Amino acid sequence: MKEWQIRILPIVEKQLTAIKDKRVQATISKRIDDLRYAPNEQGKPLVGELEGYRSVRAVGQRYRILYKVQAQEVLVTVVTVGMRKEGDRADVYILAKRLVRLGLLDQE
């Protein structure tokens, strides 16, 4: 099985550090590591403003990891990590859309 390279954007490092519970941090980090194998078969493709990105659940239903698969480089770029809080400004998808609008997710 082909192993993909994982790249974590600096914002994700900050988001992970901001999570106080070390067990939750460790679980999310392990889930990110799991993306090394068959990332296109994990999570779900996103639509609308976040088209081209995928989302995978971590820590039960609470957290999401958003990432982009770049097949030609065999690279998975983790672009944001956060809690799913539907209707809340702190929701991970609302944050990701804001970052897309600001052009902060496409930093190669």
CATH fold for the domain made of 5-101: YaeB-like fold (3.30.2310)
- Global confidence as pTM: 0.87
Helix (H, G, I), strand (E, B), or coil: what is residue 54?
strand
Q: What distance in Å separates the CA atoms of residue 85 and residue 90, rounded to the nearest whole number?
A: 7
Q: What distance in Å separates the CA atoms of residue 29 and residue 48, rounded to the nearest whole number?
A: 27
Q: What distance in Å separates the CA atoms of residue 83 and residue 23, rounded to the nearest whole number?
A: 15
12-66 tens-digit pLDDT: 999 999 999 999 999 999 999 999 999 999 999 999 999 999 999 998 888 999 9
62-80 tens-digit pLDDT: 899 999 999 888 999 988 8
Query: Which tokens go with 104?
Result: 């902060």
- Look at residue 108 in the predicted model and tell me its pLDDT: 47
DSSP state of 5: E
Residue extents of the structural domains in the chain: 5-101
- Look at residue 85 in the predicted model and tell me its pLDDT: 82
